[in-house]
């Protein structure tokens, strides 16, 4: 098989990772609009990170070459790390603050102007303290953290697999 055309399995995993991101976003929207779990700036920042990861995964699935695919997957892994860090910060610091105004997340969201582009997805409607809720006894941000961690493991596994196969005869 040509090195320029990845095998189906090389496309499937990043596409499944992108679908997982879309499902995480859908769960956030259902939680927000059906169950009134209003998002704070850190929640919205995590939504943006899920979108970035999904786009990187789709791009990796259809990358024209292994080096491009590996680069996109490394960026995916780094983005997952940023997602984990934002979820941890939300839980450990931001959820104990009454206001998230002018925090790092708030400045990014305001700077990008995403609230005006898609308010149903990106409008901040709660303070960090108000957004500190649990789902099945687990803080909501930990669910997000778990998804980021799983996606990061997937990206790391794909990078390692691709690098390991790069030295051999088999091309994906």
User: For residue 11, what are the CA distances in angstroms to 18, 46, 70, 124, 154?
Assistant: 11, 25, 12, 35, 13
* Domain count across the chain: 1
DSSP state of 96: G
The helix, strand and coil proportions of the chain, stated in percent and rounded to the nearest 5, come to: 70, 0, 25
Q: What is the mean pLDDT of each run of 10 residues along the chain (172 residues)?
A: 52 96 96 89 95 98 94 98 95 76 84 90 82 79 95 96 68 48
Confirm whether 2 is domain-assigned.
no
- As given in the structure block, the two tokens for residue 101 are 């105004």
87's CB contacts (< 8 A; 6+ apart) are: 42, 46, 141, 142, 144, 145, 148
**Which CATH number fits the domain that encloses residue 134?**
1.20.1550.10
Structural domain of residue 16, as residue ranges? 8-166
Structural Rg of the chain based on CA atoms? 18
Looking at residue 27, what is its pLDDT? 94
Confirm whether 172 is domain-assigned.
no
- Number of helical H runs and strand E runs in the chain: 7, 2
Confirm whether 53 is domain-assigned.
yes
Looking at residue 133, what is its pLDDT? 76
Confirm whether 60 is domain-assigned.
yes
Partners of 134 in the beta sheet?
139
Looking at residue 135, what is its pLDDT? 76
Looking at residue 64, what is its pLDDT? 92
Confirm whether 171 is domain-assigned.
no
Confirm whether 90 is domain-assigned.
yes
Looking at residue 165, what is its pLDDT? 76
Confirm whether 1 is domain-assigned.
no
Could you give the CA distance from residue 63 to residue 65 in angstroms, rounded to a whole number? 6
91's CB contacts (< 8 A; 6+ apart) are: 139, 141, 142, 145
């Amino acid at each position: 098989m040509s090195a320029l055309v990845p095998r189906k399995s090389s496309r499937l995993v990043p596409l499944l990772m992108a679908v997982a991101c879309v499902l995480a976003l859908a769960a956030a929207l259902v939680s927000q609009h059906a169950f009134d779990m209003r998002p704070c700036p850190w929640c919205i920042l995590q939504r943006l990170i899920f979108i970035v990861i999904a786009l990187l995964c789709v791009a990796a699935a259809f990358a024209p070459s292994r080096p491009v695919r590996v680069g996109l997957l490394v960026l995916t892994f780094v983005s997952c790390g940023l997602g984990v860090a934002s979820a941890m910060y939300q839980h450990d610091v931001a959820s104990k603050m009454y206001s998230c105004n002018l925090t790092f997340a708030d400045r990014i969201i305001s700077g990008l102007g995403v609230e005006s582009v898609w308010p149903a997805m990106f409008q901040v409607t709660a303070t960090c303290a108000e957004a500190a809720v649990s789902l099945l006894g687990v803080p909501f941000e930990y669910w997000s953290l778990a998804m980021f961690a799983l996606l990061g493991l997937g990206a790391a596994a794909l990078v390692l697999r691709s690098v390991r196969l790069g030295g051999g005869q088999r091309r994906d």
